[in-house]
Amino acid sequence: MSQSVSAAKTEPAGRAGQFDMDVLVGTILQDGVLLSLALILAGLCWRYVRTGGLALDYQIAGMNLFQFVVDEIRLALHGSVRPRLLINLGIAVLMLTPFIRVAASVGYFLGVLKNWKYTVFTAVVLSVLTYSLFLR
Amino acid sequence: MVSFELLFPVSVLAGFIGAMGGMGGGIILIPALTFFGIDIKHAIAISILSVIATSSGSASAYVRDHITNLKVGMFLEMFTIVGAMVGARITLASSPRPLYIIFGLVLLGSWVVLLMDKYLSLGQVAEQDAFTRWLELEGSYPDLATGKTVAYKARRAYLGAPLMFGAGIVAGLLGIGAGALKVLIHDLVMGLPAKVSTTTSNLIIGVTALAGTSVYLAAGYINPGLAVPIILGVVAGAFLGTRVLVRLTNQSVRIFFLVILLVLAVEMIARGLRGI
């Protein structure tokens, strides 16, 4: 195996890049979770103002993430904006947070670190996650 | 339908106790939710969704402190996400009773691991094997206590990978992060330093939980009415738990957590055997 040659060649750039990647990944995770919690809280407050209660009782009959959000946005475009829109968006952002983290990693391994091995590994993870999000 | 006013405090408490014991909220949350009459499959589905929030939240800080090993995480994720999808499918196909029993057994297993903590070892290997070297699984992290940088090399990735597939199955099956199991694999099999193994497992838990959540969402098991108070509660509880209390360093906290784990384990197994 020729691993030592390629490793030695990319070492200096690799280490600095790895450092920045930590910051990128950490920031995506933190901002994603915070945004999602903010959306859910906002939806909840809105609901409380409108109905005077906190109870949310709606079920989602088996659907994937995209239908889950698109249906609600379509309703909003037709003029029926409901607190549920923000709550669904909050749940969607939460689910997309690790997904975007993986997508950004693929880009970083490919574009900045030029590490083909890990570009493939992260791309496999991204493909499986994409498949799972489209499950019905 | 269980009310918001009940679900929220119960979830705060579950998140709090879980974080206090150095574990996620799910391990306490699921028994608590089923106790209040929520069907175990719905409890599992919501729990795994909330795991995305708690694990990503805590992972973010460790990643930016350069303690997490992204390569180790991303290599092992390939196995855990597939495992989580398989596990979630098994749960959907299963009847509730075996789920209670398996949950109880996993709790019992965590209890034993926590109790034995210091005595476990699996014959560390000194040399890094060719496969793990090819995977570039090594790194260094800043030790804040001594101010030095600690370098390490991972080992036995060929063994860690299939074991992590198993950990993924447990996570998807039971709706928990299965962090204790992942840390065990990192520590004992792959020889990662304790700090690196816990923080890297946190990173892996987030995507693993997402893969599981997708399966439950597609099957119609995510009910936002339940999800909202539970997510907010578990996140708030976990936040307080990690900040207010020092983890298992305090002996009385440790004993308290061990007792709770054992009670829940016995309870879940008994309910499974009795037929709930």
Q: Name residue A46's amino acid.
A: W
How large is the ipTM? Answer: 0.89
Say whether residue B146 is in contact with chain A using an 8 A CB cutoff. Answer: no
User: What digits encode the pLDDT tens for the residues A15-35?
Assistant: 556 668 888 999 999 999 999
Q: Name residue B255's amino acid.
A: I
Per-residue pLDDT of chain B (276 residues; tens, 9 = 90+): 567 778 899 999 998 888 877 777 788 899 999 988 889 999 999 999 999 998 888 888 888 888 889 999 999 999 999 999 999 999 999 999 999 999 999 999 888 888 876 666 655 666 788 888 888 898 888 877 777 888 888 989 999 999 999 999 999 999 998 888 888 888 888 988 888 888 899 899 999 999 999 999 999 898 888 889 999 999 998 888 777 655 556 677 778 888 988 999 999 999 999 876
Residue B255 exposed, middle or buried by CB count within 10 Å (0-12, 13-18, 19+):
exposed
Name residue B143's beta-bridge partners: B148
**Shortest Cα distance from B8 to chain A (angstroms)?**
11
Q: CA A105, CA A121: separation in Å to the nearest integer?
A: 10
Instruction: Tell me the whole-structure pTM to 2 decimals.
Output: 0.88
Phi-psi domain of B150 (left: phi exceeds 0; alpha: psi -120 through 50; beta: other): beta
pLDDT bucket at A7, cuts 50 / 70 / 90: very low
Q: Distances in Å between the alpha carbon of B214 and those of A66, A67, B170, B222?
A: 11, 12, 16, 9
Q: CA B243, CA A47: separation in Å to the nearest integer?
A: 31
- B250 secondary structure, DSSP code: S
pLDDT for A18: 67
Contact B218 A128 (CB under 8 A): no
**Are B171 and B178 a contacting pair, CB within 8 Å?**
yes
Say whether residue B157 is in contact with chain A using an 8 A CB cutoff. Answer: no
Name residue B142's beta-bridge partners: B149
- Residue A17 neighbours by CB under 8 Å, 6+ apart: A108, A112, A113
Total residue count of chain B as it appears in this document: 276
Q: Name residue B42's amino acid.
A: H
pLDDT for A123: 96
**Shortest Cα distance from B215 to chain A (angstroms)?**
7
pLDDT for B98: 93
HSE on the CB side for A130, CA within 13 Å?
Answer: 9
Say whether residue B66 is in contact with chain A using an 8 A CB cutoff. Answer: yes
Q: CA angle, corner B127, sides to B121 and B128, nearest 5?
A: 95
> Residue B73: enclosing H or E segment and its boundaries?
helix B70-93
pLDDT for B245: 59
User: What digits encode the pLDDT tens for the residues A81-97?
Assistant: 777 888 888 999 999 99
Q: How far apart are the first and last CA of chain A?
A: 42
- pLDDT of A37 > 80? The answer is yes
pLDDT for B121: 61
Say whether residue A119 is in contact with chain B using an 8 A CB cutoff. Answer: no
The closest of A89, A95, A119 to A106, measured between CA atoms, is: A119
B98 alpha-carbon distance from chain centroid: 20
Residues of B in contact with A84 (CB under 8 A): 224
Number of continuous H segments (helices) and E segments (strands) in chain B: 11, 2
Cα Rg for chain A, rounded, in angstroms? 20
Extract the tokens encoding B59: 């992972």
User: What digits encode the pLDDT tens for the residues B21-78?
Assistant: 777 778 889 999 998 888 999 999 999 999 999 888 888 888 888 888 999 999 999 9
**Are A130 and B81 a contacting pair, CB within 8 Å?**
no
**Are B212 and B172 a contacting pair, CB within 8 Å?**
yes
- Range 84-113 of A in CB contact (< 8 A) with B: 84, 87-88, 91, 94-95, 97-99, 101-102, 105
- Residue A109 neighbours by CB under 8 Å, 6+ apart: A115, A118, A119, A122
Contact A98 B215 (CB under 8 A): no
Contact A26 B85 (CB under 8 A): no
User: What digits encode the pLDDT tens for the residues A92-121?
Assistant: 999 999 999 999 999 999 988 889 999 999
Say whether residue B71 is in contact with chain A using an 8 A CB cutoff. Answer: yes
Number of continuous H segments (helices) and E segments (strands) in chain A: 4, 0
